[in-house]
Amino acid sequence: MGLEWERIQQGLGQASALLDRMFPPNFSRWELLLSGLAESLEIAIIASIAGIVLSLFFGLFSARNLMPNWVSIPMRGLIALCRTFHPVIIAILFVKSVGFGALAGILTLVVASIGFIAKLFAEAIEEISLKQVEAVRATGAGFVSVILFSVMPQVFARFIGFSTYQLDSNLRNSTMVGIVGAGGLGGTLFSAFQRFDYDFVAAILITIIAIIMVGEFLSNIVRRIFS
């Protein structure tokens, strides 16, 4: 590998040079920063909403204690497929198939959301007490009503937990998908890197940190409301 002390010293020197050029962060191109940020947020929020809604159904249909095998097995396969690839690879596939821009980013994060929420949601459903389900079924309630009144009350708080966690994760990943051309702040970050605008890079990184912290704070509030 050629990893010698000299090489490490050289690397450390470069890192310190990089830090020197990053500070102070340069917010002078704030309009560019803001439009990238807005696009990232849009990607994250739209993808989260679509992903959460789809996961609700995917998770339900893949729960083995409620669904017959011919429904749950294909569904589980689909969810497993969503989890197979890292979001970067999915993003590249979508950029190649639907073109550059936010649409590819949204689709990427929808897939990632399904892979996470639907899987955990299905597992949560498989752990519920069937006694409660049996009792509601015995009243003559139809399938949908049974789900609404005996399954959902048992798993809804956990579903909200998974969803807010995924929203966090989508916020983070929405700043990444841009690097491969799928829209958002990542694109801005990538070109700043390539032009050695390290002070602007620092400004972007600080913005990302801020947005993640705000996201964390908001999802904590949501979790508290639903628990």
Residues contributing to the site for another protein (CB under 8 A): 129, 131-132, 134-146, 148-150, 153-154, 156-157
Nearer to another protein, 9 or 139 (CB): 139
Q: Shortest Cβ distance from residue 139 to another protein (Å)?
A: 5
Q: Shortest Cβ distance from residue 40 to another protein (Å)?
A: 34
Whether the bond into 153 is cis, omega within 30 of 0: no
Nearer to another protein, 103 or 136 (CB): 136
Q: Shortest Cβ distance from residue 144 to another protein (Å)?
A: 4
**Could you write out the DSSP letters of every residue in 10-55?**
HHHHHHHHHHHHH-S---TTHHHHHHHHHHHHHHHHHHHHHHHHHH
Nearer to another protein, 12 or 157 (CB): 157
Q: Shortest Cβ distance from residue 171 to another protein (Å)?
A: 29
Torsion angle in degrees (nearest 10) through CA of 138, 143, 148, 154: 60
Q: Shortest Cβ distance from residue 56 to another protein (Å)?
A: 13
For residue 191 the two structure tokens come to: 């070109």
Nearer to another protein, 3 or 144 (CB): 144
Nearer to another protein, 1 or 144 (CB): 144
Cα(21)–Cα(23) distance, integer angstroms:
6
State the helix-helix crossing angle for 102-113 and 30-61, rounded to 10 degrees: 40
Name which of 121, 101, 100 is nearest 51 in CA terms.
Answer: 121
Q: Shortest Cβ distance from residue 81 to another protein (Å)?
A: 30
For residue 181 the two structure tokens come to: 């051309």
For residue 177 the two structure tokens come to: 């998908």
Nearer to another protein, 152 or 205 (CB): 152
Other Cβ atoms closer than 10 A to 181: 19
